[in-house]
């Protein structure tokens, strides 16, 4: 697995990362890390890799666009001296174009989105072991739906930037699309965006798979205890 003892992973994002985490940075005891996929990642690492003390930091803030995240990126990501950075942003960039069409100054169009995310990558890439780019998503199977079609543009931008800058790309849109072929999106999120714990677990699994997580890592220890 990629993460080593005493590594720090900072998860930057919006509400799907935040999910009631402490502000502006959530970590440590009680529910400070929130209840998103970040919590599931922390749980899984602690269960399967107890010998590795991996510090998990939630730097998600609900409602953020890439513009908002970039404005606080120095304070909430770079200044924390992470070993790994995970960036999951873009849902609100697209969403505001549809739920607030008369407020253009709150909307972040694809061109600016690309610039914002690329700046986040460049500003930290020489300071960390690696960067995860987690795609935005919309749990709508109809690709011709206007918001799904726009969201796919943002997903492709993430894919391209991850490839250009040698980042690890996690395609949440594809993951949800495959899952929703079996179960309807309402099973995970009524608004097709904010996941319940099933969705959070799916996201955590997709992230950990890209990190080389081994579900059998601690199996030998468990067997010996039996």
- Residues with catalytic annotation? 15, 191, 194
Number of helices (H), then strands (E), in the chain: 9, 5
How do beta strands 55-60 and 168-170 pair?
A: unpaired
71, 11, 19, 161: CA torsion to nearest 10: 70
Q: What angle do CA 220, 222, 225 make, to 5 degrees?
A: 110
Are 36 and 18 in contact by the 8 Å Cβ rule? The answer is yes
Distance (Å, rounded) from C-alpha 213 to C-alpha 44? Answer: 9
Sign of CA dihedral 15, 20, 23, 25: negative
């Amino acid at each position: 697995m990629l993460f080593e003892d005493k590594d720090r992973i900072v998860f930057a994002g919006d509400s799907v990362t935040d999910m009631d985490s402490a502000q502006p940075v959530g970590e440590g005891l009680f529910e400070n890390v929130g209840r998103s996929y970040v919590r599931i990642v922390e749980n899984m690492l602690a269960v399967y890799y107890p010998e590795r003390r991996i510090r998990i930091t939630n730097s998600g803030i609900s409602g953020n666009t890439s513009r908002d995240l970039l404005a606080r990126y120095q304070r909430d990501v770079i200044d924390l001296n992470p070993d790994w950075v995970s960036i999951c942003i873009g849902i609100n960039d697209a969403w505001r174009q549809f739920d607030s069409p008369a407020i253009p100054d709150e909307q972040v169009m694809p061109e600016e989105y690309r610039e914002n995310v690329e700046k986040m990558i460049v500003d930290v890439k020489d300071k960390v072991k690696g960067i995860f780019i987690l795609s935005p998503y919309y749990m709508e199977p109809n690709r011709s739906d206007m918001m799904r079609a726009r969201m796919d543009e943002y997903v492709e931008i993430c894919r391209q930037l991850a490839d250009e800058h040698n980042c690890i790309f996690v395609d949440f849109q594809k993951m949800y699309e495959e899952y929703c072929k079996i179960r309807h999106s309402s099973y995970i999120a009524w608004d097709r965006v904010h996941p319940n714990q099933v969705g959070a677990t799916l996201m955590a699994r997709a992230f950990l798979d890209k990190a080389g997580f081994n579900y059998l890592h601690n199996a030998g220890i468990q067997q010996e205890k039996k």
